[in-house]
Structure 1
Amino acid sequence: MSARILIVGGSIGGLFAAVLLNRAGFDVTVTERSVHGLEGRGAGLVAQREVFDILRDVGVEHVAQIGVIAHERIYLDRAGGIIHQQRTPQTQLSWDVLFRTFRDLLPDARYQIGRRAVEVIQEADGVRVRYADGREERADLLIGADGIGSQVRATVAGPHSLPDYVGYATWRGLLPEAEVPKAAADQLFDRFAFYEMPGSHILGYLVAGPDGSNAVGRRRYNWVWYRRYTPEELDAVLTDRDGQRRPFSLAPGHVRPEVVAAMRADAQRLLPPSFAAAVTAEPRPFIHAIFDYAPPHMVAGRVALMGDAAFVARPHTAMGVAKAAGDAFALRNALLGTPDIDAALATYEAERAPVGRSIVAYGQRLGKSLE
């Protein structure tokens, strides 16, 4: 009988692991706390080698072609002039398309939404997970793929294993290209654009439309603005429309109107005209605070961490999805390599922990100018 594997967290990383393990013959179930699912929550991503590898492994390499090519990089000055141009073609993929592709590869019975894990109980030869609805699931192995705010992480790394806020956050927008003002579109489209200033920078690029289309007129513009906030300022920014302070981020539509208005006013005051126009055109901007975290362990007993539930790296690395793909490959290969689950998990940790630590350190080096 194949090992029963429970994956807590149904975002990209959990899906990567679930699809690879399911295809390898393991009995896999994913539980995701979101009631409505995760599709539509992502923006754009710059794919690394591991992403192309996993697409090839599961037979959907064509998804790598569902992207938008930025033909060059440009750097702007405050007035909007181009001060540096570099011919470095690069393809940006859509998080939504990647998520939907892997979700479709997993049978519906193996992906359960609306199930929030609240307790993990280690046993001699397995693990039990208790959910908010009172039900329990038992498995031979639990994989924590539940992201930066992981509920599973404490079982592996201890009760105080919380990521460290690094002093800045990203505002983000993702809007149909037709809604970007023409003057901004003329300068920004089909390019990877940047503007840098002390303690802040903004970048933007086109990604495929929500249906995966990369046809002109059906794409979306993705912008990301890094801004510094003191912990006190962050508390105010991350307090949602209902007055609840969220720990890590606010989704589209949840940021208080007065906070959005202040951010837009700052964009007009601080950014080049094209970027200011793109930021202002986004009707529902969203925000993520930035954190660092490296766990002392990735494995404890029959519980393993992967993706951002393990190592939280700053987005400058553009390696979050690649890191999750690498973790998924390593887990599958280790479990296929031996029927001894404990030995397999030791192999997994030995391979991936040094990689995770190096990515976190790389992100810290890249983010020094923003601290």
Structure 2
Amino acid sequence: YRSVVRDAVCPGSRPHYAGYVCWRGNFDARLLDGLGDADVWPSDAVTTVCFPGGSCVVYRIPGPDGTRVNWVLYAVPPRSGNLRLDDPTSFPPGRLTTELADGLAELLAREFPPYWARLLALTPPEDTFVQPIYDLETARTTAGRLLLAGDAATVVRPHNTSGAAKALQDAAAFASAWSAAASWDELLHAYQEARGAAGRELVALARRLGRAQVERTPDWAAMGRGEAEAWWQGQLGGAAGIGGQAMAPAP
């Protein structure tokens, strides 16, 4: 998403800050034993904690030394002149500022049920990081003998969980265009036709999901299961396969 080649294809195109960040962290699942209430969170559960102005998903993942708990939390960061988020950046593990750490602690105390606030607080600072959310759509993905793929072509907010699939599909589209084209110009035209619109649709979907889950959250507590499912399907708007297209298995 910091591509220097992109400036040669679409001068002046750069990611724009969405107005909120993603806090992320993970910790050794054995620390859960100290929380008590073992029945609150079954071992096979993926849980979403919803609150005004954000949401957080918590789930278990494999780790090098056993199971770990991973969480992803979207919310607006502390408002301060000390945080410069107008240029693509991130705060990697071990580089979390005191201001961001305090902001996360305040958010957990204010908005989270006590069990889930204590759970996230088990994450050590060295395993906590912040990813400001950016997005970008380019007017074109090719120019001259240059071609953009992956996050260089379109920066999509993480709500879609489509980044890896999008990059693979870009590569597959390039391979298809290569095998069918009689010239470089034909190849680039076919690639642009295949992936230009798909990239813009992914950006639009992620913006819609970001508005729904962070920027303009509904009254979560007022929705029953059926209402929540209908609301979610409305946000998806009939979006097709992840990454913008279905990928048929190889014969």
Task: Give me the TM-score of the superposition, normalised by structure 2.
Answer: 0.75
Deviation of the 1:268 alpha carbon: 2.5
TM-aligned CA deviation for residue 173 of structure 1: 0.5
Where does residue 60 of structure 2 map in the other structure? Answer: 206
Compute the displacement of 1:359 (Å). 0.8
1:192 corresponds to which residue?
Answer: 46
Structure-2 separation of matches of 1:178 and 1:294: 42
* Counterpart position of 1:12: none
**What's the CA shift for 1:256?**
1.9
Q: For residue 250 of structure 1, give the secondary structure of its aligned residue in structure 2.
A: coil
Residue 22 of structure 2 corresponds to which residue in structure 1? 170
Instruction: Give the structure 2 partner of residue 317 of structure 1.
Output: 160
8 Å CA contact retained: 2:17, 2:132: yes
Q: Structure 1 or 2: larger strand share?
A: 1
Note if contact 1:238-1:249 (Cα within 8 Å) is conserved in structure 2.
no
The corresponding residue for 1:153 is 6
Correspondence list, 1:1-371, <5 A:
148-158=1-11, 160-180=12-32, 181-183=34-36, 186-188=39-41, 189-210=43-64, 218-229=66-77, 233=80, 236-237=82-83, 247-283=88-124, 284=126, 285-338=128-181, 340-369=183-212, 370-371=214-215
Partners of 2:16 and 2:105 in 1: CA distance? 27
RMSD between aligned alpha carbons? 2.4
How many residues are treated as equivalent by the alignment?
210
Q: 1:274 Cα shift? A: 2.9
Which runs of no fewer than 5 residues in structure 1 stay unpaired? 1-147, 212-217, 240-244
More helix by share: 2
- Deviation string 1:287-321 (CA, Å, 9 cap, x unpaired) is 11112211001111111111111111121112122
When residues 324 and 210 of structure 1 are mapped into structure 2, their CA distance, relative to the original with a 3 A threshold, is farther
Identity of aligned residues (%): 34
Q: Mark the CA change 1:269 to 1:157 in structure 2 (over 3 Å): closer, same or farther.
A: same
Contact 2:61/2:69 (CA < 8 Å) preserved in 1? yes
Cα 1:175–1:279, aligned 2, differ >3 Å: closer, same or farther?
same
Return structure 1 stretches of 4+ with deviation > 4 angstroms: none
Alpha-carbon shift at residue 339 of structure 1 (Å)? 5.6
The whole-number CA distance in structure 1 between the counterparts of 2:207 and 2:168 is 21
Normalised to the residue count of structure 1, the TM-score between the two structures is 0.52
Displacement, 1:253? 0.4
Deviation, 1:261, is 3.3
Work out the CA distance in 2 between the residues paired with 1:174 and 1:327.
Answer: 30
